Structures are given as C-alpha cells and as structure tokens.
Amino acid sequence: MDNVGIVVDDLDAAVAFFTELGMELEGTAEIEGLWADRTVGIDGVRSAIAMMRTPDGHSKLELTRFHAPTAIDSGPLAPPPNTLGLHRVMFAVDDIDATVARLRPHGAELLGDIAQYEDSYRLCNLRGPAGIIVALAEQLG
C-alpha cells in the first residue's frame, strides 16, 4: 500500500493535527488538469494535497482539500464508528495520555475512554480532522 487518502475542509489544520501525532510533512502540491480529472473521475478537479509520512517512512496519508468541485458531505460530519466504509486510521504511540493531551488543542475529541486490553495495549478512538476516527494504541510491557 502506498497511502491512505483523506479529504479535509481545512488542509492547514489537518497537517497540524497529524504533525502533532508525529507524522512528517513530505510535500505539498496543487493538483489539476486532464490527468487529474481522468484519475479521480470528476471533471474540473482542482485541489491541494499534503503528503504526510510516518517517522519510519513506511506509511503515508494524503490529505486533500478540493477547491473545485467543492467537497460534498455524504452524510453526517461525525458518523458513528459502525458506519459502512473507511472506519479509522490507527497509530502506535509511546504515551497515549500525552498524545491525547497534545491533540486536544487541535480539535481531537475522545469517542469513549482510554481503555486497556488485557496486559497488551491501552487503546482509544478519537475524532480527528474532517470527522475521521483516529485510533491510538500504546503497547504495554
């Protein structure tokens, strides 16, 4: 897999959120033209993207803000975790409490609580940019 794409309404805020999570901005670009229209399947595509990379370089998120045509809302902005489609993106973190605290000023809201799974992990789901669910996992021991 090369990357996971997420459409956002505020590209700068999304970049700040994922930077705070430990990702690195690999680059930005303005996307438009016939090749973009044909790839996406929409005429008149004009968008800005930011490619975010995990510190180990193995995973990426492509954050996209559509200038044209305007992004559409396909349902509630904050769908529940059991909504069909892309469910969440999970990140391994060293300190889940500190990570949640750092993300709160960027709009992160816990969906439930931080919970422990056996003696293996502390886990949580939170709402991130554009209403997506971001899961965090802290391995114990």
What is the set of domains in the chain, with CATH numbers? 4-68 (3.10.180.10), 89-139 (3.10.180.10)
Q: What is the pLDDT along the chain (141 residues), one digit of tens a residue?
A: 889 999 999 999 999 999 999 999 999 999 999 999 998 888 999 999 999 999 999 999 999 999 999 887 766 666 676 776 776 899 999 999 999 999 999 999 999 999 999 999 999 999 998 888 899 999 998
- Eight-state DSSP code of residue 139: E
Query: Does the model's pTM come out above 0.85?
Result: yes
